[in-house]
Amino acid sequence: MLRLAWKFLKFDKAKSIGVITAVVISIFLIGQQLSLLFFLMGLMGNLVGNAPVRDNEVWVIEKQTNNVNALNYIDQRLVQEIASLPTVSNTYPVIIAPAQATFLDGQTAGVTLVGAQAPTFIMGPLKSRLKEGSTTQLIQPYTVSAEFYSAKTWNTNLEMNKPIEINGKSAQVKLITQNAQAFGASLMYMDINNARYYSNISPSKVSIIVTTLHDKNTKNSTINQINTLFPNLKAWDPEKLRSSTIKEILISSNMGMSFGTLVVFAMISGFFIIGLTLYSSALDRIKDYGTLKAIGATKNYVNKLIIAQAFLYAIIGYIIAMILLYGFKMGVINSGLAIDISPTFALFLLLITLFISIGGSLFAVRKITKLEPASVF
């Protein structure tokens, strides 16, 4: 069946090239837009994603926000009050604050300061996202981290021990991260005392209280207890807070709608272009299909032959589209766009390809199904 379908493909090369091109363009656009969306979603929740989150952690923030990137300050005394709960092992105050970084070449940039207690640095960054230096170097006064991929955005060179200013106060880069970007201002990690110094936040205020539990199985009950005892606070499972952050940004920015619309239109256009091209190809070869029926081929056999052609179009187009996607991935990686084409994502794109191609072939199948063999003679 596939051998005969291949002969049909070679018979009309112009239409075959048209169908394959339509498949390639549709799948490349779908893969490109979705991979970019997933990358941006990762940035939205990177305050959580960069942290070495454990199963027994609960994050406590002010109740008015569901977005970890837009936090209000809470009272420092709550750190000790939450630590007194029987299920809690330790509590760690965290400072998240906006600031302005100024470089010696005169460039300025908006940054987000992330301050946590040394030497644990409960907010990270993860070891896998360190390019130069280590978090232990952030224990020193007036030391900060900087993101490798932010250097192009800042239009400056970035190296270890680089002197900079944060809110007009001297600092030094002692740690360079890689792929620890954020959605919006770049993240700069530091000791919590340095974060207070550079942001001018009162010692009586914190942004997040990271709480560790004796037993991870008490997480839900501890969250309910904190929410009940402290009505102005809200306790979160860190991953749920990350999901909530992404959802809120996607809705408020209409980003999800924009990317979703592009993907849907790529699917619809591919479906109809492929369908109409296969329909036109079937009309051109209607005598061939009629002859097959006249010499004894069943209706199902002819239908399977058309679907087999669509399957071959899908596989060829998918392979070319994936090569282009991997080329796109390698082309943008140096700019900090860490596009991830996982096996699951690749399988999803394959299923979309088969749906578009085989679904589009149903236009031709319907036409040929109604064909009477005698009508072609």
Q: Residues 123, 142: one domain?
A: yes
Distance CA 316, CA 218 (A): 52
Q: Residues 246, 198: one domain?
A: yes
Tally of domains in the chain: 2
Per mean pLDDT, which of 12-16, 34-38, 240-244, 289-293 is the most reliable?
A: 240-244
pLDDT confidence of residue 355: 86
Q: Residues 116, 226: one domain?
A: yes
Q: Residues 77, 217: one domain?
A: yes
CB-neighbour burial class of residue 80 (10 A; exposed 0-12, middle 13-18, buried 19+) = exposed
Average pLDDT for the chain:
86
Q: Residues 34, 65: one domain?
A: no
Q: Which of 252, 283, 307 is the endpoint of a domain?
A: 252
Q: Residues 231, 153: one domain?
A: yes
pLDDT confidence of residue 255: 81
CB hemisphere CA count around 82 (13 angstroms): 33
pLDDT confidence of residue 163: 93
Q: Which of 206, 227, 252 is the endpoint of a domain?
A: 252
pLDDT category at 287 given cuts 50, 70, 90 is low
Q: Residues 263, 360: one domain?
A: yes
Q: Residues 113, 246: one domain?
A: yes
pLDDT category at 292 given cuts 50, 70, 90 is low
CB-neighbour burial class of residue 243 (10 A; exposed 0-12, middle 13-18, buried 19+) = middle
Q: Report the pLDDT averaged over residues 248-257.
A: 83
pLDDT confidence of residue 13: 73
Contact call for residues 181 and 43 (beta carbons, < 8 A): yes
pLDDT confidence of residue 295: 64
Q: Residues 260, 348: one domain?
A: yes
pLDDT confidence of residue 358: 80
Q: Residues 83, 209: one domain?
A: yes
> 């790529």: which residue's tokens?
266
First-to-last CA distance in the chain? Answer: 25
Q: Residues 184, 133: one domain?
A: yes
Ranking 131-135, 247-251, 285-289 by mean pLDDT, the lowest is 285-289
Q: Residues 258, 248: one domain?
A: no
Give the pLDDT confidence of 294-340 residue by residue, as tens digits: 666 666 676 677 788 788 888 998 999 999 999 988 888 777 777 88
pLDDT confidence of residue 371: 55
Distance CA 185, CA 147 (A): 11
pLDDT confidence of residue 55: 93
Give the pLDDT confidence of 61-90 residue by residue, as tens digits: 999 999 999 899 999 999 999 999 999 999
> Could you tell me the CA-to-CA distances from 36 to 28, 55, 341, 368 in Å, in that order?
12, 29, 11, 41
In which element (H, E) is residue 157 found? none
Amino acid sitting at position 48: V
Distance CA 158, CA 174 (A): 11
Judge if pTM exceeds 0.85: no
Which is more confident, 121 or 303? 121
pLDDT confidence of residue 217: 94
Torsion of CA 161, 163, 164, 167, to 10 degrees: 100
Expressed as residue numbers, the domain containing 335 is 2-43+254-376
pLDDT confidence of residue 142: 94
Does residue 8 have a pLDDT over 70? no
Distance CA 24, CA 353 (A): 9
Q: Provide the percentage of residues in the chain whose pLDDT is more than 90.
A: 48
Ranking 144-158, 198-212, 226-240 by mean pLDDT, the lowest is 144-158
Give the pLDDT confidence of 179-193 residue by residue, as tens digits: 888 887 789 999 999
pLDDT category at 266 given cuts 50, 70, 90 is confident
Q: Report the pLDDT averaged over residues 346-367.
A: 81
Q: Which of 192, 219, 252 is the endpoint of a domain?
A: 252
Does residue 289 have a pLDDT over 90? no
Give DSSP secondary structure letters for 59-121: EEEETT-S-TTSPPPEETHHHHHHHTSTTEEEEEEEEEEEEEEEETTS-EEEEEEEEE-TTT-
**Helix-strand-coil split of the chain, %, nearest 5:** 55, 20, 25
